Structure 1
């Protein structure tokens, strides 16, 4: 299947509302739609109430950048506050998962529940026929429905975060950056003289921003210290609470790198909830960190139809991970089981596994547990 150009599936659509974040990607998305003849308006979403005395949440600065871009492009900018929806539909889930000692990916849920649900409904209410964002991904429309594909820029591809979109959402979505690389986006922004052309990319939690994560999480979750130990039971230090760590984590353990004369980094391997122990190992490919497969829950298939097992495909367990060959050996409405051709490191409960065939993103599921090698 050959992906279509960014606007082909909605060629007859004229009025589009772009989610303008204040960043360079959404600014160029708006510019490209204007070039293609669309009637473009923009919307800035505020989805988090700033309560940070240090001012790390930069919604005000982002709004100023969005206003400057909208003025330069000559488009109307709407503003809206979805903080309540974000809290109810994304952040409460985020906290539940951390309390359960899992590591959720709020960006995945934010796309499905806010950007392509709440924002989409709001835009349709304003009379738009579609929304557009600065995501790096491609959509094709065929007799079999709408298909999501990886972007031309593999390094920036964001299909991992978009895998829970459905047919109705894709039918009303445009990704104008599908055929551009990030370098080309930056270069175009500079040529246009956009105010945010040199603005760095955001890297924090979706809509919450960049901040010291453990301190932020401590506002909502109690610290429950316990021992940090080797698999053999040697105590190395004390952890802040199991919820504050993720499988495979190397930084921030506070235990140095030497044990019994061996100097090497430590990695989180097991969160032993029964005994409130954090088990760490020094080998990055220690058996406790490796899995030959996994079980996952809440499967979502973009087509609306699950493939029949056994099913060969490619998968990734985290954003930007190289695609891994695997087989879905069991597929059901509530979950699936996956076996990898090569053992995988740091399979993390709460994260997403996302499936691909060729360039197409098929969907994904939420990792429940790794299966031992």
Structure 2
């Protein structure tokens, strides 16, 4: 057998299974690698062992050599500790972005090179294009599955060594190809939510690391309408889990989280899905990462997403001397959330992005001025 040039991350899901199959069909010398990113915590909720068995079965079906690596320590220090620290600070982090940067396109890439490979491949829905020696990260053909949002922290060196075999395929076609090839994962459900939490209750999981601290739920004008188990269990725009029944003097309409004050342990809520307290038009970010290595300009127009699967929103971007961004949107954004990722696009091309630090949402601005 010729030397393996590409190692594909086999997760035990249908997408990575078909990605491996497509590489083999193209004649690419390929091997698989299964990553364990979360240590068994004794909860019986982690699917890592099931996924490992499925990965082995897929590689057996394809006649593909498979390797195994335990990145659970790297995941804990590079992804999970940040996740907990952000929630403790009242922010809402996105661990998938960090997992891609720190684990799949750093430690996995290093492991592949140690095994003698030149490239890695994954089952992500995205595309890579090289023009005049510069690599671009492009949206997937299937916009409903496009994952460039989660990959925006990648740079030139990672993209030069990465292949996305599913970038031009629709999800329905991926399922069809898996079924035709009788892959063991053909009918397996896609994983959803945060990988290390699995099917368990999010609040119960988080309470293991951030003990509950009950406090008041108030309206923005200060009226107490309930009690919460801990402000860090909630995020802006959330409706579920508030347990607010009929409140005298208010319409029988749903309540939404519109703000949280970690210092005073107060959760703020109001009624109406398009509540004005959730609207912001300007946001400030941490230092940005650029796929091309630098910003396109100090000031430029583009589109952006402040959450996954959001529609493109027109904005003006100003890049500060420290690399932080000021982003002004053409129309107000609902529940743009500190800790989440702002990802910038020029058409199909992902320019890069940054973590949202603050917005001009009315309640957030008020709480920030009170704390100053």
Same fold per superposition (TM over 0.5): yes
> Could you say which residue in structure 2 is the equivalent of 1:286?
275
Q: Deviations over 1:42-94 (max 9, x none)?
A: 000111111143x1101111011101100000001111111100001111111
Structure 2 residue corresponding to 1:98, chosen from 63, 82, 87: 87
Of residues 194, 207, 211, the one that matches 1:205 is: 194
**Quick check: 1:85–1:114 contact (8 Å CA) kept in 2?**
yes
TM-score, with length taken from structure 2? 0.94
Please tell me whether residue 165 in structure 1 is matched to residue 154 in structure 2.
yes
Match in the other structure for 1:354 = 343
* Structure 2 counterpart SS, 1:303: coil
Q: State the partner residue of 1:32.
A: 22
My pick for the range that moved more, 77-86 or 259-268, is: 259-268
Out of 332, 355, 358, the residue aligned to residue 343 of structure 1 is 332
Deviation readout 1:12-47 (Å, 9 max, x if unpaired): x96110000000000000000001110110000111
Aligned residue number for residue 249 of structure 1: 238
- Secondary structure of the 1:30 match is helix
User: 1:132-164 CA distances to partner (integer Å, 9 max, x unpaired)?
Assistant: 000000000111511000000000000000000
TM-score (norm 1): 0.94
Partner of 1:76: 65
> Using a 3 Å threshold, how does the CA distance of structure 1 residues 76 and 87 change in structure 2: closer, same or farther?
same
- Work out whether residues 135 and 160 of structure 2, in 8 Å CA contact, stay in contact via their aligned partners in 1: yes
Question: 2:367 — aligned with what?
Answer: none
1:150–1:253 CA distance, 2 compared to 1 (3 A) = same
Residue number in structure 2 paired with 1:112: 101
> Is the 8 Å Cα contact of residues 293 and 338 (structure 1) preserved in structure 2?
yes
Matched, 1:299 2:284: no
Q: In the aligned structure 2, how far is the partner of 1:153 from the partner of 1:331? A: 34
Contact 2:87–2:93, Cα closer than 8 Å, also in 1: yes
Determine the C-alpha separation between the residues in 2 that align with 1:144 and 1:79: 33
Does 2:24 match 1:42? no
Structure 1 gaps of 5+ residues are: 1-12
- Structure 1 residue 310: deviation in Å? 2.2
Q: CA RMSD in A?
A: 1.4
Asked whether the 8 Å contact 2:261–2:267 carries over to 1, the reply is: yes
Instruction: Find the aligned partners of 1:274 and 1:135 in 2 and give their Cα distance.
Output: 39
Partner of 2:370: none
C-alpha separation between the residues in 1 aligned to 2:27 and 2:270? 57
Q: 2:183 aligns with which of 194, 203, 210?
A: 194
Are the aligned partners of 1:308 and 1:331 in contact in 2 as well (CA < 8 Å)? no
Written as runs of structure 1 = structure 2, the 5 A alignment for 1:299-318 is: 299-318=288-307
Cα separation, 2, equivalents of 1:330 and 1:359? 21
Distance, in Å, in 2 between the alignment partners of 1:106 and 1:153 is 23
The residue matched to 1:263 in structure 2 has which SS?
coil
> Number of matched residues?
360
